Structure 1
Amino acid sequence: MQDGERSGEVIIERRGTAGVIRLNRPRALNSLTLPMIRAIAEALHVFAGDPEVASVVISGEGERGFCAGGDIRALHESARAGDDLAATFWREEFRLNHQIASYPKPYVALMDGITMGGGVGLSSHGRHRIVTERTRLAMPETGIGYIPDIGATWLLPRAPGEAGTWLGLTGLDIGAADAIHAGLADLQIASPRLGAVIDVLSGLPRGSSSSDLDTLLQGLSEPPAESRLRQNAAMIDRAFRFDTVEEILAALAGEEGDFAAETRRVLSTRSPTSLKLALRLLRAGRRSGSLAECLGRELGACLQMLDNPDFFEGIRAAVIDKDRNPKWSPASVEAVEAATVERFLKPVEPPLSL
C-alpha cells in the first residue's frame, strides 16, 4: 500500500511506517458518504494487520475543513424515498466510531478547520486528537431537528462539569482551546506544522506505543489560548445541571452577562423536540458504562428520526432551501409531550453489532 489508492473520495496510502487516510471531498468540506465510511473502515482493518504500520493518521483535503459530518442531503433524500440508505449509513458509521475508539495502534486525527458531527466521530474517539488555530468543532444537530450522535452521548457527558451539555444542546462551534478543555482534543499544533506531524509519524519505529507518540507530538505543540468554556464554567454548570430543558432555560434567564443571554437566544432557535431528546440521551450517556451502549441507544433514536417532521424541516431550512428559518413542530419546548420523547428511545432491532 505504499502508493495506495490516490483517487476517489478517500485517499489511502502508506508513508514510511504511517498509514495515511485522507478525506477527499474538499468542496463538500469532506462530508461523509457511505462509500467513504466503508473505505475508512477497510483501511483501518488493513493497517491494523500490517506489521509495517506503526501508526495511522487521518486528515481532510483542502484548507477549510477536516470533516463537516455526514452528507445530510443524501440522508434527507433517503428518508424521503423510504429506502434503507440512511439506516445503513448510521449503522456502519457507528461501527466505524467504535472501531476507532478501540483501535489497537496509535491513531492520530488532524482536526484542522471545520470538524462537525461525523467529523467529531472520526477524530474525538481516537487516541491522539490534534487541533489547530483554524479548528471549529461542533455537534450542531439540534439546529437541524436531529440529535448528537456518533457516540457524542458518551463523549459529551465526560467533559468537565456541564460543558458537554452546553455543547450538545446549543450546537455552537468552538475553537481549539475549548475542544481541549472539553476533552474532545488533546493538543494544539499550528496548521503549517501538520506536514511535520506526518513526517514524524512516517519515521516512527514499528511497535511504538501511544506514549511514544505523546512525547513526539508534545514537542510540536503550542499552548492553546484561554478557553471560553472554562471562563464561563461556573455559569454553565449552574444553568445546565438540570434534567429538563425548561429548567435550563429558566436558569439561563436568571443569569447575567452576554454569554448566558446568547446561549438562551440560541436555544430558542433549536428544535424543541431535539433539545428534549438530546438532553435525555446525554443524561442516559452519563450513566452508561460503555461507548457501545450509547451508540446502540443513539441508533434507535436516529432510526426514529426518519419519521420526525423536524428532521425534514431542519435539513430543508439548512441545505435545501437554505432560508435558515425552520418551522418546528411543536414550536415550543413546553408543547413537546413526554410520549414524543419516549418514542425515540425504543431498543433498536436488530441490535447494533460491534
Structure 2
Amino acid sequence: MNATLFSVRLRPKHFHRLHVVLQHIGMATHSGSEAEILLEKAGCAGVITLNRPKALNALNLSMIQLIYPQIKVWEEDPKTFVIIIKGTGGKAFCAGGDIRAVTDAGKAGQRLAQDFFREEYILNNAIGLFPDVGGGYFLPRLSGKLGCYLALTGFRLKGRDVQRAGVATHFVESEKVPALEKELTSLKSPSKEDVADVLSSYHTKSKIDQGKPFILDEHMDKINSLFSANSVEDIVENLKKDGSSFALQQLETLKKMSPTSLKMTFRQLKEGVSMTLQDVLTMEYRLSQACMRGHDFYEGVRAVLIDKDQNPKWKPALLEEVTDEDLESCFKSLGSNDLKL
C-alpha cells in the first residue's frame, strides 16, 4: 500500500453533520482489498485509506458515508488520539470528488447532487465550479493576494510550495511518509504538541527543494498589485494595463474560465475573509447548489472530462453578462435546505 499524502488530526471535536448517515458498519466489513475505504486502528491512531487507485482515489458518496461514522467512533474512543488519512496507488492522495457521478445525478435531478455536496465538496473554476471545502476560509487568509490569485487562475502548487504558500503546515518527502506514519502511531497518549514535534522533525529532515525559492516569489509583487481590485473586471483591466508577460499569461488563463464562477469565487473570498469556518461552509454549500441549478458546471465537466475538447461554451459567456442579480441568487439562503453544522 503506497501512501503519497495524509492528513493528521487530534481528537476532532466538530465534524460536518451529514445529511445522510448510513447505519454504523463495523470496521471488519471494510477490510477486503476491493473495498473503496479501508479502516483500521494502529496504535494511538485511526487510519483511513482511500482505496480507488484507478480513479486516483476520487471520493464518492458511499465512501464519505463510511468515513464519517468511523470518525465519530474514534472521536469518542479515549485511546484514539490521531487520525491519519492516506491514499493507495502512488499517483494521488485524492483527486477530489467523483465529478461524473455528481454531473449525471444533477442532470437527472437526483438527490445525489444535493447529498454529495452536503457531505463533501470538489474544487475547480475550469469546470464551472469554485474553490470550496473551506477554500473561502483559508484562501483569503494567505499572504497578500496569493489566495485570490490561486482561486481565480487555478494555479497548481506542488510539493514544498504548498507549505510555503501557507496551505499546508508541513512538507515531508514521499519516501519518509511510511516512517512518519509509524512514529505517529507509536506515540503514547500524545498531546497536540507531541504530534507537532514529530511532524516538524520530519519536515526539517526533508531536503527536496529546500534551497529553492517559492515558485511564485518573483511574481508576488505583481500578484499583490494586479489582483488588488474591487471586482474581477477590475483585475482584468489591471492585467491589460500592466501588459507584462506574466500579466498577459494570467489574462489568457482567466479568459478560459467560467465568467460566473470567476465572479462567484471573487465574492466568496471577499466575504469569507471575515466569516467563521462554519459560516463559510454554509455559504459554499449554497454555491454548490447554485452550480447544480446552472449551466456551466455541466458544460465544464463535458469539455474537460467527458468529450475532452477543452472548449467549454459558458453561459453567460462574458463577465459583463453576469448580473448582480445572478450572483446574488447564488449566495441566497436555501432556507430549510441550508447546510446545518
1:65 and 2:97 matched? no
Deviation, 1:257, is 4.2
1:210 and 2:192 matched? yes
Deviation, 1:237, is 0.8
Q: Secondary structure at the match of 1:297?
A: helix
Question: What TM-score do the two structures reach when normalised by structure 2?
Answer: 0.86
Deviation, 1:4, is 7.8
Equivalent residues of 1:273, 1:336 under 8 A apart: yes
Which amino acid in 2 is paired with 1:176?
Answer: G
Deviation, 1:311, is 1.1
Question: Which deviates the most, 5-14 or 69-78?
Answer: 5-14
1:190 and 2:173 matched? yes
Residue in structure 2 matched with residue 232 of structure 1 by the alignment: 219
Residue in structure 1 matched with residue 230 of structure 2 by the alignment: 243
Residue in structure 1 matched with residue 5 of structure 2 by the alignment: none
1:277 and 2:304 matched? no
Equivalent residues of 1:9, 1:25 under 8 A apart: yes
Alpha-carbon distance between aligned partners in 1 of 2:161 and 2:149, rounded to the nearest angstrom = 12
Residue in structure 1 matched with residue 10 of structure 2 by the alignment: none
Residue in structure 2 matched with residue 76 of structure 1 by the alignment: 103
Alpha-carbon distance between aligned partners in 1 of 2:112 and 2:335, rounded to the nearest angstrom = 16
Deviation string, structure 1 residues 153-180 (Cα, Å, up to 9, x no partner): 0111111111110111111211123311
Alpha-carbon distance between aligned partners in 2 of 1:170 and 1:52, rounded to the nearest angstrom = 44
Structure 1 runs (4+) deviating above 6 angstroms are 1-4
Which amino acid in 1 is paired with 2:193?
Answer: S
Which amino acid in 2 is paired with 1:293?
Answer: D
Residue in structure 2 matched with residue 294 of structure 1 by the alignment: 280
Q: Secondary structure at the match of 1:195?
A: helix
Equivalent residues of 1:150, 1:295 under 8 A apart: yes
Name the larger-Rg structure.
Answer: 2
Name which of 17, 26, 29 aligns with 2:44.
Answer: 17
Alpha-carbon distance between aligned partners in 1 of 2:139 and 2:115, rounded to the nearest angstrom = 25
1:305 and 2:291 matched? yes
Residue in structure 1 matched with residue 60 of structure 2 by the alignment: 33
Which amino acid in 2 is paired with 1:35?
Answer: S
Name which of 136, 151, 154 aligns with 1:168.
Answer: 151
Deviation string, structure 1 residues 85-126 (Cα, Å, up to 9, x no partner): 1111111226xxxxxxxxxxxxxxxxxxxxxx4xxxxxxxxx
Deviation string, structure 1 residues 215-240 (Cα, Å, up to 9, x no partner): 11222122544212333211111111
Residue in structure 1 matched with residue 31 of structure 2 by the alignment: 6
Question: What TM-score do the two structures reach when normalised by structure 1?
Answer: 0.83
Count of residues paired in the alignment: 308
Which amino acid in 2 is paired with 1:216?
Answer: V
Name which of 69, 72, 75 aligns with 1:42.
Answer: 69
Deviation string, structure 1 residues 304-334 (Cα, Å, up to 9, x no partner): 2122111110011111211111011121112
Equivalent residues of 1:32, 1:71 under 8 A apart: yes
From the superposition, tell whether residues 246 and 166 of structure 1 become closer, same or farther in structure 2 (CA, over 3 Å). same
Alpha-carbon distance between aligned partners in 1 of 2:112 and 2:291, rounded to the nearest angstrom = 14
Residue in structure 1 matched with residue 314 of structure 2 by the alignment: 328
Deviation string, structure 1 residues 46-92 (Cα, Å, up to 9, x no partner): 11122222211111111111111111101100111101111111112
Q: Secondary structure at the match of 1:36?
A: helix
Q: Secondary structure at the match of 1:65?
A: coil
Q: Secondary structure at the match of 2:157?
A: coil
Which amino acid in 1 is paired with 2:317?
Answer: A
RMSD over aligned CA atoms reads 1.7
